[in-house]
Structure 1
Amino acid sequence: MATGGNKKALSVRVITPDATLFNGTAEAVLSVNDEGDFTILPGHINFISLIKERVILQLADGTSKTIPVELGILRSKDETIEVFTGLAKLRSRQEPTSASDRRR
C-alpha cells in the first residue's frame, strides 16, 4: 500500500478498434469478470482477464471515470493496464434497426 506523497500511479490505456477512449494515469482500475468485481492497485501482480460491464478509473484528482464495456480483455503488467474492447465496433454493427436493413 502506498503512503504519504509516495503514491504510485498506473499507466492506463482503453482501446477500441476505432479509437483510444482513455490514455493516462489512474490510482486504481476496477472492473468485472465472471468471478465478480475486482480492483487493480499499483503493485498488483501481472494479471489478464476477460472483462464485462464496465471499467472504472479512479483518478488522482479524486474523480472517477466509468467506461461501459460489453466484453473486453484487461491486461495488467508492471504498473501498465491495457483494456482492449470491441465496444465501438459492436455498437456500430447494431445501428441498423429498420425492417429492410434486417432482411439483408
Structure 2
Amino acid sequence: MSTFLLEIVTPEHVVFSRQVESLSVRGVEGELGILPGHIPFVTPLQVAPIVIKSEGKTQTIAVHGGFIEVQGEKTILLAESAELPEEIDLERAIAARERAERRLSATVQDRIDHRRAELALQRAVTRIKVSSRSKE
C-alpha cells in the first residue's frame, strides 16, 4: 500500500513522524481527507481530533489549531499543541469542559472573554474524544 510521511510538530517538539496511509483533519473549510499523492495545499486547522491510518491501525491525536501543509509525499501539520491519547488527563479535560461551559453560560455583565471560553471548550471536548477513542 502507498504511504506518505506525516510530521506533526508543535513549538515544543515533534509529536509524530511516520509513514501513513491516510489522514483526516478538520480545516476551516470542513473535513479533509489526505491520501498519498494529494495535491499540494496549505490551510488553517480547527481545534479537533485528527485520524491517522497506518499499517492497518487507526490512531487519533488531539490537535489544537495550527496549519497543515501537504507537499506531495510529505505532509506537515504545524500545531499550536497536539496530544497523543496516552498524554491526556481525562479528569482534567472533563473539569476544563465544565469550567468553559460555566463561563459561556455567564451573563454579558460578567465580562467573560467568550472567544477564549469557546476555545477552551473546544480543546477540552477534543481531548475527551481522543482519550475516549483510545480506550475502545
TM-score of the aligned structures, taking structure 2 as reference length? 0.56
- Structure (1 or 2) with the greater helix fraction: 2
Matches of 1:84 and 1:54, distance apart in 2: 14
1:92 matched residue in structure 2? none
2:125 matched residue in structure 1? none
The alignment's C-alpha RMSD in Å is 1.2
AA aligned opposite 1:49: T
Task: Tell me, yes or no, if structure 1 residue 44 matches structure 2 residue 47.
Answer: no
AA aligned opposite 1:50: P
- Structure (1 or 2) with the greater strand fraction: 1
Percentage identity across paired residues of the two chains: 25
Give the Å deviation of 1:35. 1.9
The C-alpha deviation readout for 1:25-58, integer Å capped at 9, x for no partner, is 1000110012211101011100111112122111
Give the Å deviation of 1:78. 1.5
Q: How many residues in Structure 1 have an aligned counterpart in Structure 2?
A: 81
Which runs of 5 or more structure 1 residues have no equivalent in the other structure? 1-6, 89-104
1:56 matched residue in structure 2? 51
1:80 matched residue in structure 2? 74
Which runs of 5 or more structure 2 residues have no equivalent in the other structure? 83-136
AA aligned opposite 1:36: G
2:2 matched residue in structure 1? 8
2:13 matched residue in structure 1? 19
Kindly report structure 1 stretches of 4+ aligned residues shifted beyond 4 Å: none
Give the Å deviation of 1:22. 0.5
Which of 62, 72, 76 is equivalent to 1:68?
62
1:102 matched residue in structure 2? none
